[in-house]
Chains A and B, each alone.
Chain A
Amino acid sequence: MTSSTETIHELANQKYKYGFVTDIETDSVPAGLSEDIIRLISAKKQEPEWLLEWRLKAYRHWRTMAEPRWPKVDYPTIDFDRIVYYSAPKQRPKLDSLDEVDPELLKTFEKLGIPLEEQKRLTGVAVDVVFDSVSVATSFKDKLGELGVIFCSMSEAVREHPDLVRKYLGTVVPYTDNFYAALNSAVFSDGSFCYIPKGVRCPMELSTYFRINAAGTGQFERTLLVAEDSSYVSYLEGCTAPQRDENQLHAAVVELIALDNAQIKYSTVQNWYPGDEQGKGGIYNFVTKRGICAGVNSKISWTQVETGSAITWKYPSCILKGDGSVGEFYSVALTNHFQQADTGTKMIHLGKNTSSTIVSKGISAGKGQNTYRGLVRIAKSATHARNYTQCDSMLIGDRCGAHTFPYIEVNNNSSQVEHEATTSKIGEEQLFYCRQRGLSEEDAVSLIVNGFCKEVFRELPMEFAVEAQKLLGISLEGTVG
């Protein structure tokens, strides 16, 4: 027991390895939020008039809203006037190739292990990188272009494909949706846009890498992904931030649209800076993610591994509108030290024969508080809908908390809804079994926890699954006594 306590200590003090700061000149707007700031952001990005109008409408609506306090997370009131809403690496007006990217920036991504460089072509992942507020580089554009796949930064999409953006932006998450979605709509600076044409199976995984670098800034990106009839795309998202004593706000919006027979697989490995072991610093990750299965037999699958952030608060959701559409949510959320997570999903069944699966694994260690909050709503029109929900929580240590708040609303009698939740600690017998066979306590715990999360990990694309397991190891190993 003592030996493992020591290891806990050792590992707890393990450095957040992405905590470095890149010294790079930035182009920022003054802190604070007003209509002028929004106009300034819009002007900097040379946006069309309709988008500025939309931003202003969102801002005016946001002003009427109150900051929500219902999640089971605890944090001091955010001063929205002290946040810098736009920060971009200073650069030439337009980038034509990666060679023109600031070498300092490239170094950053090298450190992060992001396959931006050509030699990484073998990994077969197309990456869009969002650094602070703007998208800095997108790889594999030409190859994707041949198939008609559009994968670019949001700003570029606004310039090059305004009709598509205008048609879909805000249709899944309207600016009136919630406090942070409204804020995001007003100030979003960049993000990724992805469009998969009819019948195309995207040949590679698309990936966005988010990085908050500058101090005192908030990151507000917006991702919009449209999958036309019978198309398929797998999309990855990763995030890191430097180690700072202050709390930084990340309020993103992700909108997915799947038309007839389309499939979208959206995976996230979220590793924002979680704050130190005293709970100082860290990112507030307040994100709105929602997809709509608009067409028949379409499918949206969310997979998330949440190990970072001081506070995670997000509910990737599916609106199952098309008949026979499928929604999935697989999640591993880990909270250690003073981390708090209030996460889960919403499955809104509207179409006939729709089905959804929710598998959520929560792990709490240290003084972490981990909450699953989810909604399954079966509308009257959703005849023969099916839902299966499983929420398992594991507690490691006696000062953490695990909470489960599911909401189940069933409005017809041909549907079946099941919800199951368990909370327990690592089984003594399981540990004993492993120890008896010569595994160290460390390895035994790691084995058991990985087994606990396996159902989720196997939904992740290969590269991510490896990264997720490593991350979990770093964040967790040795916390067990």
Chain B
Amino acid sequence: MSHDPIQHYQDLCQSRSQQKQPAWLRAIRLSAAARLAELGFPTRKHEEWKYTPVRPLTAVAFAQSPLPLSLSRVAAEDLLSRTTQGALRVVIGDGQILPAISSLEALPAGVSIRSLREILDTENEPDDLLRQRFALALDRVGDNAFDALNLALFSDGVVIDIPKNTSVTQPIEIVYVGSCSSTPQIGAIRSFVSLARGSQASIIERFVGLSPDGAHNPHTTGSASTPHNPHTTGSASTPHNPHTTGSAPTPHNPHTTGSAPTPHNPHTTGSAPYFTTASTAFFVEENAALDHYKIQQDDPSAFHIAWTWLHQKSHSRVSTFAVSLGGKIARNETEAALDGQGIETTLNGLYLVEGDRFVDNRTFLDHAKPHCHSVEVYKGILSERGKGTFNGKILVRQDAQKTDAKQSNQALLLSDDATIYSKPQLEIFADDVKCTHGATTGYLDEKSMFYARSRGVPEDAARGLLTYAFANALIEGVRLPALQQELSALLAQRFQLSAMDDLMGLLDEQELG
């Protein structure tokens, strides 16, 4: 099958731009589409994409469904069980908000969470701010072809506004659902989150996949009770398949629920990968504080390219933590523009890569003004034939004196076939600064292994324990207890720590004794 990806997406862009929307937005979409045509998709010759295999992604002719994703009751319940408990929730299925399973009733006064599509559809003249932000988005596309693609094609998004001096105690969670159906689906989402002066909020972005049978990938989810876990069942040849384990919920089928007229839910044959591309821009005004978590648990066959744009003003504080657990090819791009003094920024990341997966992390910290402080810690654990990259850049502009920036990427290679590409970069134009970066790659520390082994810990358990500890150092920084527990449990399960509980007890006793 010959497939011209650029032509394919130009066709999609054309049909997208013909839909009802404000004229200015149509113009922006068309410019973005033109930009995409001009750029073409990046190849390995493109410095920013040197290590990323783009072809598997561009080879698939993704379709954009006009209809919302339909979920059976069981699938919806299963899905909700995978979200963060106690959070305000917006669920987006294949690029469109699903109000039925979103929970936005009890919003604190003044806080607004809206669908971008609704704003654009219902208001004739949406506020100037939104227009400005789209203009900025178009400006920022630069030579990023996938960003252009997202801008030309996005079907919906979430617009969150936190008013001045408001502290939102409940975390707000955006759940992006991608479905593996018989036709490959692209979900393109563009969201805007504003934190006005002195406000505070925690935002979780969670990306999950739905396989045709409604089951989810045990690798990316932490609940120990999951019946079809390859590590525990072991014997089942295709543990993801409910027909062999028998215990999984019935596949969600529109014909059994009968709820939607002709919903896009062709889940009867085959299972094509989906592609989620999400761009979320955060505008954090003076003295505002944002905790952001990006939990990427896409299906192992899925493609994921997402951006986190942070625009920070003076004395604001942002901490973001990107956890990458899924996707065949997953790329996280985080850019922080520190446009003011006294800003604090933390960009952390954890990527676990196994199988034939590829996780690509790209961060860019733009220190534009003096007296800002940034810390960046990325940790990767790569096993089997997993490949990962870390490409982190710190730019300190002229006159951004007294900048203090630290960056580190630590990668643990657990198998001989795993690969890591690290590219930590410093670009510094001011002299009175403290900037450091470090990158280490290696196997587990032999001394620590020896310590554990000499105290009677079996080799496998010692390895699991050390790997867990390596990653858990970052998880401990998660400020939402429910999320922290979930991630910690997930790690423990991943590194088979459950068998070690007894041992841990034993060690504790020894310590006490």
Can you list, as one digit per residue, whether each of B398-441 has a CB less than 8 Å from chain A (1) or not (0)? 11010000000001011111111111111111111111111111
A221 and B141 CA atoms in complex are apart in Å by 44
**Contact between chains at A423 and B422 (CB < 8 Å):** no
Residues on A with beta carbons closer than 8 Å to the beta carbon of B47? 70
Contacting residues, chain B, for A400 (C-beta < 8 A): 429, 431
User: Is A409's beta carbon under 8 Å from chain B?
Assistant: yes
Asked whether A419 lies within 8 Å of B428 as measured between CB atoms, the reply is: no
25 sample A-B contacts, Cβ–Cβ < 8 Å, listed by A number: A393-B426, A398-B398, A398-B432, A400-B431, A401-B428, A404-B437, A405-B423, A406-B424, A407-B422, A408-B439, A410-B419, A410-B420, A412-B413, A413-B413, A413-B415, A416-B441, A417-B440, A418-B438, A418-B440, A419-B439, A421-B438, A423-B428, A423-B434, A423-B436, A424-B435
| In the complex, B513 has a CB within 8 A of chain A | no
A398 touches B431 (CB 8 A): yes
A425: interface (CB < 8 Å): yes
**Contact between A408 and B428 (Cβ–Cβ < 8 Å)?**
no
- Are A419 and B425 in touch, CB under 8 angstroms? no
5 tightest A-B CB contacts, nearest first: A413-B413, A395-B431, A408-B422, A416-B442, A419-B439
Out of B399, B417, B418, B434, name the residue touching A398 (CB < 8 Å).
B399
Whether A409 contacts B431 in the complex (CB less than 8 A), given A415-B442, A417-B441, comes out as no
Give the CA-CA distance A418 to B438 in the complex, in Å: 8
| A403:B439 contact, CB within 8 angstroms | no
A416 near B443 with CB under 8 A, answer yes
Binding site for B on A (CB under 8 A): 70, 380, 393, 395-425
Interface residues of B in 235-254 (CB under 8 A from A): none
Bound-complex Cα distance A52 to B41 (A): 42
Tell whether A424 pairs with B442 under 8 Å between CB atoms, given A395-B428, A401-B428, A410-B413: no
Instruction: Choose among B47, B415, B423, B429 the residue with the greatest number of A CB atoms under 10 Å from its CB.
Output: B429
Question: Which listed residue, A403, A414, A420, touches B428 by the CB 8 Å rule?
Answer: A403
Are A413 and B416 CB-contacts (below 8 A) given A408-B423, A421-B438? Answer: yes
B422 contacts A402, C-beta separation under 8 Å? no
Query: Smallest CB–CB gap between B52 and chain A, Å?
Result: 13
Given that A398-B399, A424-B434 are contacting pairs, would A404 and B426 also be in contact in the complex, using a CB cutoff of 8 Å? yes
Knowing A404-B425, A410-B413, A413-B415, the reply to whether A421 touches B443 (Cβ < 8 A) is: no
Residue from A403, A418, A422 within 8 A of B425 (CB atoms): A403
Closest to B432 in A: A425
Are B429 and A401 interface neighbours, CB within 8 A? yes
Query: Judging by beta carbons under 8 Å apart, are B398 and A399 in contact?
Result: yes
Complex interface: chain A residues within 8 A of B439 (CB): 406, 408, 417-419
The residues of B that contact A397 with a CB separation of less than 8 Å are 431
Q: Which residues of B contact A399 (CB under 8 A)?
A: 398
Q: Judge whether B427 and A401 touch: CB under 8 Å.
A: yes
Interface contact A409-B398, CB-CB below 8 Å: no
B442 smallest CB distance to A (angstroms): 4
Which of B418, B419, B425, B441 has the most chain A CB within a 10 Å cutoff? B441
Cβ–Cβ < 8 Å partners of A70 in chain B = 47
Contacts A402-B426, A409-B422, A416-B443 supplied; 17 other A-B pairs, CB < 8 Å: A395-B430, A400-B429, A403-B426, A404-B426, A405-B423, A405-B425, A406-B424, A408-B439, A409-B51, A409-B420, A410-B413, A412-B413, A416-B442, A419-B422, A419-B440, A420-B438, A424-B434
Q: Which of B419, B428, B435, B443 contacts A411 (CB 8 A)?
A: B419
A419's partner among B413, B430, B438 (CB-CB below 8 A) is B438
A340 to chain B minimum Cβ distance, whole angstroms, is 13
The CA of A424 and the CA of B401, in the complex, are separated in Å by 11
Which residues of B are found within 8 Å of A402, using beta-carbon distances? Answer: 426, 428
Nearest to B434 among chain A residues (CB) is A424
CB distance from A344 to the nearest CB of B (A): 12
When distances are taken between beta carbons in the complex, the residues of chain A under 8 Å from B422 are 406-410, 419
- List, in ascending order, chain A residues with CB within 8 A of B399's CB: 398
Q: Closest A-chain residue to B427, C-beta based?
A: A403
Smallest CB gap from B412: residue in A: A413
Q: Which residue on chain A has the smallest CB distance to residue B439?
A: A419
Bound-state CA distance A406–B438 (Å) is 10
Give CA–CA (A403, B425) in the complex, Å.
7
Question: Once the chains are docked, how many angstroms separate the CA of A412 from the CA of B411?
Answer: 12
The residues of A that contact B436 with a CB separation of less than 8 Å are 420-423
Across-interface contacts of A403 in B (CB, < 8 A):
425-428
